[in-house]
Amino acid sequence: MIHCDNLVKIYKVADLEVVALQGLDLHIESGELLAIIGNSGSGKSTLLNMLGGLDKPSAGNLVIDGKDMLKFNEKDLMRYKRETVGFVWQNNARNLIPYLTALENVELPILLQGRRRRHRALELLEAVGLSHRIHNRLNQLSGGEQQRVAIAIALANRPKILLADEPTGSVDTAMANQILDLFRDLNRNMGLTIVIVTHDPQLAKKVDRVIAIRDGKTSSEILRRKSYADELAEMEEHDHEDTHIEYAVLDRAGRLQIPSGYLDAIGIHDSNKIQVTLEDGRIILTPPEQAG
């Protein structure tokens, strides 16, 4: 569904150039539920904006649903945003109109597409668990309920891809878990490809694959050892640590990013060198030998 190859994004700020993405590679299958994590400034939001058709790469290749995004004109981008992708923002104000009811908020984008809106809007609100709140205005809904309305709006155009930017950032832990469970249900029941961008590594417990981005590159992939359903069936409190396995990602030049915690563990703090040896078919990384 999504293929990013050697993706580069450079922003110009006054006379300065800021490199947000530095040759990022990423491939997402149709129907996959994926999280992208990274610290502030890592490039994850820049990537999401490109996937949403809100920004264009400076270099590299970006193909979504078989379409080359770098060849899109403004008309193509408008059609893509209307027909292929749905967006859920962390800030509800970007999705919602406060003086309308939940039902009216969801009806509006359907109306703009010239479709019969009432039945579809009711279906969507039921899908996100808000059929009992359809006539409530936004100030009568909790933060979590407002986010559910925002998700229903993002689904109004029947997208193939749902993008969510920090969707749990403004709610408490209990509501965050409910929203993430909702994403899993939508992924399973509608076959949606869902990409969630977050700074919260705890999301790994809810999705099957997590992409970690550092300094504008894909640094690692975290894969679930067993299905989430199987895990829930045999859940034990001490089992959380072993649910996923992490892989470092090699770029085309054979370079990889080693997590800073690993480097700290072997005592590399100020040096930019590391000793690499091959032993019994394993690549061993050790601190450089001290002089003398």
Give the pLDDT band (50/70/90) at residue 2.
very high
29 or 12, higher pLDDT: 29
Would you call 284 helix, strand, or coil by DSSP? strand
Give the pLDDT band (50/70/90) at residue 214.
confident
> Is the predicted pLDDT of residue 41 greater than 80, yes or no?
no
Q: What is the pLDDT of residue 292?
A: 37
Closest CA relative to residue 105, chosen from 124, 89, 87: 124
Contact 43, 7 (CB under 8 A): no
CATH superfamily of 2-84+159-256: P-loop containing nucleotide triphosphate hydrolases (3.40.50.300)
- Mean pLDDT of all residues belonging to the chain: 82
H/E segment holding residue 37: strand 33-37
Residue 156, token pair as written in the block: 């109004």
Q: What is the pLDDT of residue 14?
A: 79
Q: In angstroms, rounded to a whole number, what is the distance separating the alpha carbons of residues 52 and 264?
A: 37
206 Rama class: left (phi>0) / alpha (psi -120 to 50) / beta: alpha
Q: What is the pLDDT of residue 291?
A: 38
Per-residue pLDDT tens for 217-257? 777 777 776 655 555 555 554 455 556 677 777 777 777 77
Record the pTM. 0.79
Q: In angstroms, rounded to a whole number, what is the distance separating the alpha carbons of residues 38 and 218?
A: 10
Q: What is the pLDDT of residue 93?
A: 67
H/E segment holding residue 44: helix 44-51
Q: What is the pLDDT of residue 68?
A: 92
Per-residue pLDDT tens for 164-189? 988 877 777 788 888 888 888 889 88
Distances (CA, A) of 74 to 9, 55, 142: 19, 11, 37
Q: What is the pLDDT of residue 266?
A: 77
Name the segment(s) of the chain with CATH classification 3.40.50.300. 2-84+159-256
Helices (H), 155-289: 173-190, 228-233, 260-265
Q: What is the pLDDT of residue 119?
A: 82
Q: Is the CATH code 2.10.260 the one for domain 258-292?
A: yes
Name the segment(s) of the chain with CATH classification 2.10.260. 258-292
Give the strand pairing for 209-214 and 217-224. antiparallel
Closest CA relative to residue 51, chosen from 94, 2, 6: 2
Give the pLDDT band (50/70/90) at residue 75.
very high
> Is the predicted pLDDT of residue 158 greater than 50, yes or no?
yes
Q: In angstroms, rounded to a whole number, what is the distance separating the alpha carbons of residues 21 and 4?
A: 11
Mean pLDDT of 35-61: 87
Per-residue pLDDT tens for 254-290? 777 777 777 777 777 667 778 888 888 888 888 877 5
HSE value, Cβ hemisphere, 13 Å, CA-based, for 203: 29
Q: In angstroms, rounded to a whole number, what is the distance separating the alpha carbons of residues 95 and 109?
A: 10
Would you call 251 helix, strand, or coil by DSSP? coil
- Of the listed ranges 30-39, 63-72, 89-98, the least confidently predicted one is 89-98
